[in-house]
Chain A
């Protein structure tokens, strides 16, 4: 770039701060593009400094220096003199130092404690979840156990129907639930014929040798129904037939065959 008279004018106005408008933009573009122009402009700077210094000196007020230097001064830190404590109070320092150290230790401990508590809370939460899972499994197992017990109980029970042997009382019937473990059970009767007060019905259970074993006497009410918990007179491992006879009040040791009223198949 050739620095002609016009560009020198623009540079002179620019360095003195009097260039504006489109000429300013034009000159700045030229300045960007031309190292020669940059060099030329730099050479004018001392001239401007000379102009600036050509005026009569006016001494600044002395306090201005102190004011300015104070603004860049570092912040004063108040420190206690090294020997501000009387020698006799050395133990106060020792206590203060000890307390400070204790505070630091406590702070560290506190931090560790918080970390431990957090870890334990996490473990508790996990254990609670595990406990819920186990509780659920336990409930399920209990249900299963109950179900199995029920099944087992039913497996140990024998249900037998007893039918009427009387032509004039064909609706008399009974059901017995025999529990193998207790050698007893429950007898439920209905539509039984009424008995005179001096007579009772008696239940018999045949043992393995087909010997009748007395299992209890009963006297139904006027409706002919009754529920009787009974137990065989002796232990029978595997019962045979069940039957009911009419006997004298209180029952007898051996059944009266002619008075047989109900029997199982």
Chain B
């Protein structure tokens, strides 16, 4: 099943076939109570992303360059993490930025945060490539094995995007997540596994996986409120 076919905002999302990719939110029905503002986490960074999207929609190359500088490290890191291949990661990032250049003008702030959109855009494109190359099982295994946080001394993608202070807060939130919750979340996001596949991968009941993902995301949401 294609993500695009499931979404009312089809053009803003890459096509991700098969159940493993899961389904990303349907932005068209994410209506904020303040309809003229982007939803969730009304941070200045998100506002700036939205401003840049508007400028990019008007074919402003300076704004596009700024958006690239703000997000490329994180997006490239996601692609590299999922694909484990520098060349393919570059291709994915390049495709994603071309899509941003072409579609940013159509982005509706009611649909969500631009940062969330570009993250899922790159994630889905990368997972599409993984499926195409039949490397999924190997990558799923590696994802499970590498489900560890960035060492405190290393720079995270969050640090590159949000600065070290916020990155520390985010890291703290992640550290406080139980390992089983974090692992289930990472298998879903970075490996593109469905809940059933995660259940199989981790040899845990499906209900347990659902609960772990729910609890983990809610905890992150609560701890990061006002940060992102």
Contacts and interface: CB of A to CB of B under 8 A. Distances in A.
Given A12-B218, A28-B6, A68-B97, A49 B1 contact: no
A73 interface: yes
A111 to B, nearest CB: 36
Interface string B147-169: 00110001111111110000100
Contact of A64 (B32, B76, B189): B76
Contacts of A43: 40-41, 221
A79 interface: no
A95 interface: no
A17 B23 contact: yes
A76 interface: no
B92 to A, nearest CB: 11
B77 A18 contact: no
Interface in A104-155: none
Q: How big is the B interface, by class? A: 35 or more
B113 A45 contact: yes
A11 B170 CA distance: 22
- The prevalent SS among residues of A at the interface is helix
Given A53-B74, A57-B160, A39 B32 contact: yes
Contact of B188 (A16, A67, A72, A73): A16
Contacts of A65: 65, 68-69, 72
Interface residues of A, number: 50
- Which of A38, A39, A43, A71 has the most C-beta atoms of chain B within 10 angstroms of its own C-beta? A38
Interface in A14-33: 14-21, 24, 28, 31-32
A37 B32 CA distance: 11
Contacts of A44: 40, 217-218, 221
A57 B216 CA distance: 22
A55 B217 CA distance: 16
Contact of B189 (A35, A51, A61, A69): A51
Nearest to A41: B25
A23 to B, nearest CB: 8
B24 A15 contact: yes
Contact of A46 (B185, B186, B228): B228
A147 to B, nearest CB: 86
A52 B19 contact: no
A42 B65 contact: no
A47 B213 contact: no
B150 A47 contact: no
Given A39-B32, A57-B77, A64 B214 contact: no
Interface string A153-173: 000000000000000000000
A81 interface: no
A105 to B, nearest CB: 38
Interface string B197-216: 01000000000001101101
Contacts of B81: 55, 58
B126 to A, nearest CB: 11
